[in-house]
C-alpha cells in the first residue's frame, strides 16, 4: 500500500501530540490535562487506523474486481483489523 502525504501528516501530528504530552509530564502538569491529551492522541490514532484500513480495502477491492476475484475475504480481513485495533 502506498501511504500518501495526508496519512503521513496525521502520524506526524500524533507524534507532536505525544511529545507535547511528555513535556507536560516533565513539567508536572495536572493529570486531567495529561489524560485529556492522551485521550485525544488515542482518538487520532484510531481515526488514522480507520483511514489506512479503508484506503487499503478500497484499493484491494478495486484490484480484485479488475481480476474477477471475490472480495468477501478482503472485507472480513479489514473488519478484523478494525476490531483488533480497539
Q: Would you say residue 15 has pLDDT above 80?
A: yes
For 36-57, what is each residue's pLDDT tens digit? 999 999 999 999 998 988 888 8
How sure is the predictor about 68, in pLDDT bands with cuts at 50, 70 and 90? confident
Domain count across the chain:
1
CA nearest 21: which of 3, 45, 51? 45
pTM: 0.79
Give pLDDT, residue 11: 97
C-alpha cell at 83: 476490531
Residues 83, 46: contact at Cβ < 8 Å? Answer: no
C-alpha cell at 5: 502525504
Q: Which domain holds residue 17?
A: 5-85
H or E element in which residue 48 lies: helix 31-66
Q: Would you say residue 5 has pLDDT above 90?
A: yes
Give the CATH number for residue 19: 1.20.58.1000
Q: Would you say residue 69 has pLDDT above 80?
A: no
Amino acid at each position: 500500500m502506498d501511504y500518501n502525504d495526508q496519512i503521513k501528516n496525521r502520524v506526524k501530528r500524533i507524534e507532536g501530540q505525544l511529545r507535547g504530552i511528555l513535556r507536560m509530564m516533565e513539567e508536572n502538569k495536572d493529570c486531567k490535562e495529561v489524560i485529556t491529551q492522551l485521550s485525544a492522541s488515542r482518538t487520532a490514532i484510531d481515526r488514522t487506523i480507520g483511514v489506512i484500513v479503508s484506503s487499503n480495502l478500497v484499493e484491494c477491492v478495486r484490484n480484485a474486481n479488475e481480476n474477477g476475484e471475490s472480495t468477501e475475504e478482503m472485507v472480513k480481513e479489514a473488519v478484523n483489523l478494525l476490531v483488533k485495533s480497539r
